[in-house]
Amino acid sequence: MYKYQDLGLTNIDEMMAKAYREGYAIPAFNFISIEQYSGIIDAISELKSPVMLLVSPNLLRQLGGTIIGRISQSGVDRMKEMGLNPEISLHLDHGMKYEDCVEAINYGFSSVMIDGSALSFEDNIALTKKVVDYAHSRGVSVEGELGVLSGAEEEGEHANDSSKYTDPKKVEEFVRRTDVDCLAISIGTSHGLVKMKADKNGNLPELKYEILKEIEKNVPNFPIVLHGSSALIPKYMKMINDYGGNIPNSVGIPEEQVAKVAKMAVCKVNIASDGWVTALGLTRKILAENPASIDSRVFTLKVRPALKEVYINKIKLLGSENKLK
């Protein structure tokens, strides 16, 4: 068991307050492999950016809290060795149960997300408040969710067509009654590989900026979170399909829309799929070109620098470069 302070990790409250004041968003990157993790640390070290490392309950179960805690600590130590003052948060992404969040907190996560968005409003409040009470007593921050994003989280399934947008009129009550530290909302992004549907002319819709503006008015200076924000980089989506994959009709979120909300009340932007499709596309290509290889380093050594470039682009998009003290 760990305390996040012992691992050198940062509480997100101060990170997000600064992001809100200065009009940028903190990149929140899911990682499921050491190459993705290393690419993230490479990128934030070069651009001197804060970061939130997102770990799903599945990955926590797969690797265990001790390994994940030590992995995150290695990034902190590496940046300190470079003379930097790191701001790295280890965050449980989409904890669905109270027990998920308790386990993460006890292993040194500095923040957790409890996702009660599929519940009724009252049940969501009750579950979120229960997690908040446990977390705050240990100095850990909590992200809630109000409004339901369409699509699948982590399983790689295609998104469905419907998304329940967050009702801005309910946000103030939710925040007040739960004492949550930040809130994920639904304004048109989506999990999965079909994040938006084009109209008959091929034009993609805009995110619901008016919902975000109303929330910002109703709950001023409160940090908002955007999930499902990957662009699904066309080069790597094509690479997947060219080398044996079968992912037709993928549509990501236009990066200019993500950049716009990062200057508003959105202080944290979750990005998972862009890291996954980059790694998968390159892995498929390299293995196809090296069919006799039995050493996984034939692709891992090439995946890491490509991932670094993806994360560098996201950091610049969100405006978080050179924000470390």
- CA–CA distance, 56 with 166 (Å, rounded to integer): 23
- State the pLDDT at residue 306: 97
pLDDT score at 196: 86
Query: Token match 């236009």: residue?
Result: 254
As given in the structure block, the two tokens for residue 63 are 């690797």
79/2 Cα distance (integer angstroms): 20
Q: In whole angstroms, what is the distance from residue 311 CA to residue 36 CA?
A: 9
Q: Please measure the distance between the N-terminal and C-terminal CA atoms of the chain and give it in whole angstroms.
A: 29
H and E: helices and strands count for the chain: 12, 8
Active site residue 167: no
What is the DSSP secondary-structure string of 257-313?
HHHHHHTTTEEEEEE-HHHHHHHHHHHHHHHHH-TT---THHHHHHHHHHHHHHHHH
Distances (CA, A) of 30 to 6, 92, 133, 177: 22, 10, 26, 29
DSSP H helices in 23-167: 34-47, 57-63, 65-81, 98-106, 121-136
Which residue ranges of the chain lie beneath pLDDT 50? 154-162
pLDDT of residue 136: 98
At 93, which helix (H) or strand (E)? strand 88-95
Sign of CA dihedral 159, 181, 90, 61: negative
| Other beta carbons within 10 Å of 17 | 14
Catalytic residue among 42, 93, 100, 181: 93
Please report, to the nearest 10 degrees, the dihedral formed by the alpha carbons of residues 247, 251, 256, 260 taken in order. -120
Under a CB-based contact definition with an 8 Å cutoff, are residues 164 and 213 in contact? no
Cα(233)–Cα(116) distance, integer angstroms: 30
Q: Where are the beta strands (DSSP E) in 115-211?
A: 141-146, 182-185
Q: Which of 148, 73, 134, 126 is nearest to 104 (CA)?
A: 134
Cα(40)–Cα(313) distance, rounded to whole angstroms? Answer: 11
Contact call for residues 30 and 56 (beta carbons, < 8 A)? yes
